[in-house]
Structure 1
Amino acid sequence: MTELLEMDTYGRVAEPATLVIERKLPGPPSRIWSYLIDADKRKLWLADGVMEAKAGAPFELVWRNEELTDPPGMRPEGFSEEMRMKSRVLEVQKDKRLVFTWQETGEVCIDLRPEGDEVLMTVTHRRISDRANLLMVGAGWHMHLDILAARLRGKTPEPFWDGWLRLKADYDKRIPR
């Protein structure tokens, strides 16, 4: 009997300043795509903000992490109820690939690949400034993707901040100093 191995849901440092994290999600790709592009769906797992699915289009991501889960968990010191970030769409391939800027220096590429009834979502976050930000970004993407997976499967995600703090400690052990 062949044993199925579960996917490692932790991100990995693929090259200096680049984090890659993957998730298998219930498909089809068009369903996952709607959770990337549609602000009303994206705010359920990541951040609000109207995005025109067109290369060159500016948009703003608006994080309200305490609205993602009920209860939200205890917000760590140094974080506010809302965070905003201006971005720009760099590339769009409907149902396959979305690339956008992360602040002025970073870049996020989200690729969707069908695998049977599921979709492999690969998030590649490039040009992360330093290890401290790698820990925050790794824990952030991980927790946000856990919430997306739970929502798509009709399950209740763990409290956002509790999960984020746990994951940040995990990434501190996993990412070399």
Structure 2
Amino acid sequence: MLGTLRTLDDGRIELRFERRLGHPPAKVWRAITEPGELRHWFAQILDYDRFRFDLRAGAEIAFTPAPEFADLGTGRGTITRVDPPRLLEYTWDTETLLWELEPQGEAACLLVFTTTFRDRGSAAALGAGWHTGLDLLTRRLDGAAPGPEGAAVPDELQAAYERGFG
């Protein structure tokens, strides 16, 4: 299912995804907060050997690019809300990322991921990129290999987001 898009009252754009995962919140929490897990599914431009989360409100984050992406520069962010293993919100430059985990029995949870940003023109690319990342997260949690395409956004998925958000 594609993410959903809406414009907020302040003009920012909100992109929201929901995934029902067959894993408890604690396991998903580790996958969204530990650099050793993030490297398998999160933004592939980052240097996870130098990436750290200090999981406390107000902590600063440096999104250091991998050497081959050094020209992008280091992104900056701040942890704005944290309530393990249920809620994590932080900024990444002008984007806000919100991860919510709702238990669904003892062995599953609902992951709601919302990203808020300003540039409506980037919605299709962000939608396809985050969708692909969440697919990789699901595969990682399930113990499956990432697949032959890795983190590449499939052309048909990009096209679907362009049709839906264009």
Q: Shared fold by TM > 0.5?
A: yes
C-alpha distance after superposition, 1:32-64 (max 9, x if no partner): 111121111111110432100001111123466
CA shift, 1:152, in A, is: 0.9
Tell me if 1:42 matches 2:31. Answer: no
Equivalent residue, structure 2, for 1:171 = 161
CA shift, 1:90, in A, is: 0.5
TM-score, normalised to structure 1, is: 0.76
Equivalent residue, structure 1, for 2:63 = 61
CA shift, 1:150, in A, is: 0.5
CA shift, 1:89, in A, is: 0.6
| Whole-Å separation in 2 of the counterparts to 1:18 and 1:91 | 18
| Whole-Å separation in 1 of the counterparts to 2:39 and 2:77 | 16
8 Å contact kept, 1:11–1:19? yes
| Whole-Å separation in 2 of the counterparts to 1:122 and 1:98 | 11
Tell me if 1:98 matches 2:85. Answer: no
Equivalent residue, structure 2, for 1:18 = 14
8 Å contact kept, 1:27–1:118? yes
Tell me if 1:86 matches 2:76. Answer: yes
Equivalent residue, structure 2, for 1:32 = 28
Counting aligned pairs with the same residue, the percent is 25
Written as runs of structure 1 = structure 2, the 5 A alignment for 1:108-123 is 108-116=97-105, 117-123=107-113
Tell me if 1:157 matches 2:146. Answer: yes
Question: What residue ranges of structure 1 are gaps of 5+ in the alignment?
Answer: 1-7, 65-79
8 Å contact kept, 1:18–1:125? yes
Root-mean-square deviation (CA, aligned residues, Å) is 2.0
Distance of aligned partners of 1:28 and 1:61 in 2 relative to their CA distance in 1, 3 Å threshold: same
Counterpart pick for 2:117 among 118, 123, 127: 127
Distance of aligned partners of 1:102 and 1:166 in 2 relative to their CA distance in 1, 3 Å threshold: farther
Q: Tell me the amino acid that sits aligned with residue 29 of structure 1.
A: P
Matched residues, number: 151
Partner of 2:153, secondary structure, is helix
Distance of aligned partners of 1:166 and 1:86 in 2 relative to their CA distance in 1, 3 Å threshold: farther
| Whole-Å separation in 2 of the counterparts to 1:160 and 1:54 | 31
